[in-house]
Amino acid sequence: MKFKLGLFLVMFALLLSGCAPTPTTTPEDIIRQEGEYAIVDQFTSSANRVYHGTYLPIHQALEVGTRLVDLSKQHFSVDEYYMQEGEIITLSRLGALVRRESGTNPIGLNPPSGSLFPSGNGVDITDAIVVSDVLEVNFMKRRDNEYVLEGISIALVLNPSQSVDLGRVNITPERLYEYGSDMGRKLESYLRSLAGVGDIPIYITLYSLGSVDAILPGNMIGEGLFLSRSGQFSQLNESWLLIPSNASNELDSITHNLFLQLKGQLQTLLPEAIGVFAKARVINRSIDLMLIEVNTNVKTYTELQAVVQVILNDIQEFETDRMDLKVHIRNLNSTLVLIEKKANDDDFTIIYLN
């Protein structure tokens, strides 16, 4: 009898536990990566994602987003805010913003139809399309049981390469920054008129696209923080370069020569040639991020280990205390190994993907 009663109590407890509500994720449950924003729980993709994916190659889209979020950390603490996207600029609003300014579309950020756009190098461009996209990131705070919008960051994506009768012409960086600053202020005024924005901080960046077929992405050229409807733009000094190149040798001859040493050792390691090149993001004339691509044709695990060992031995000499460093080791079209080290980290992270 005692056994039956005990069994009944156990079954009753199980029934009660089955009826209990499933715990929901709370902000305290969200794991924050060190130095990164936590995404709001129940994240919703922006309705603008298809437009962004159509008009921005993925390497450009990721670079725009990376730099926008990194720069936003100066103004929105990663410990206080949660991140979302597309809260204010709906798809219809984005469509109006990237169209031409006109009597029926006063918020358009591109020059009116039939107008001449001074490129800054003596060529006037007819019907230029300078603003190609507008990306929005939102910074939220938790109030009781909901997230409240407390800040907005915007990337105004500008296209310096324009079509003319004789081919293409590039808008000068100075002229692009000037026009982007004007349109950024216009965009800020428009955003202030929308419900839910009010006087919250709005941070706007200006991003210059790289050419469609370029190996290197584009770069940020300007920024402005607008508080209580006041603020101004300032220029940013960012660029990308290939290593090795004349530009990399002129900028940082030590890193340039260390890379040549690494490349030379790898290219003679295996019977088949190993392709090695790097690209670097430069901020204020200092390398901030270096991406090394190693294309091999390894046949055995031991050969792969030899490649990894040579790389690790040589990149120890790079000034990794001031730059992020990433190495992709590929075999034909497959990535085999990822090596990464953040600036000021003591150790490299090595991930084998086979």
DSSP 227-293: BTTB--EEE--EEEEEESSHHHHHH-HHHHHHHHHHHHHHHTTSSS--EEEEEEEEETTEEEEEEEE
Beta strand 131-143 with 82-85: parallel, antiparallel or unpaired?
Answer: antiparallel
pLDDT of residue 5: 36
80 in a structural domain: yes
193 and 85 in a single domain? The answer is: yes
pLDDT of residue 211: 67
200 and 319 in a single domain? The answer is: no
Domain end residue (candidates: 236, 262, 278): 236
| CB contact at 8 A, 180 and 212 | no
Domain coverage including residue 61: 31-236
348 in a structural domain: yes
pLDDT of residue 24: 47
Instruction: State if pTM tops 0.75.
Output: yes
pLDDT of residue 351: 95
Distance CA 200, CA 226 (A): 9
What residue has token string 């090695």? Answer: 276
117 and 258 in a single domain? The answer is: no
Count of domains observed in the chain? 2
298 and 194 in a single domain? The answer is: no
- The CATH number of whichever domain residue 215 belongs to comes to 3.10.570.10
256 and 230 in a single domain? The answer is: no
70 and 144 in a single domain? The answer is: yes
168 and 197 in a single domain? The answer is: yes
Residues 127-173 pLDDT 10s: 999 999 999 999 999 888 889 999 999 999 999 999 888 788 999 99
220 and 93 in a single domain? The answer is: yes
Distance of CA 324 to the CA centre of its chain: 15
22 in a structural domain: no
221 and 245 in a single domain? The answer is: no
92 and 208 in a single domain? The answer is: yes
Domain end residue (candidates: 236, 269, 293): 236
What angle do the packed helices 253-267 and 301-315 form, to 10 degrees?
160
pLDDT of residue 22: 43
Distance CA 158, CA 160 (A): 6
What residue has token string 């991406």? Answer: 291
8 in a structural domain: no
Residues 36-79 pLDDT 10s: 999 998 888 888 888 898 888 888 889 999 999 999 999 999 99
Low-confidence ranges of the chain (pLDDT < 50): 1-25
202 and 248 in a single domain? The answer is: no
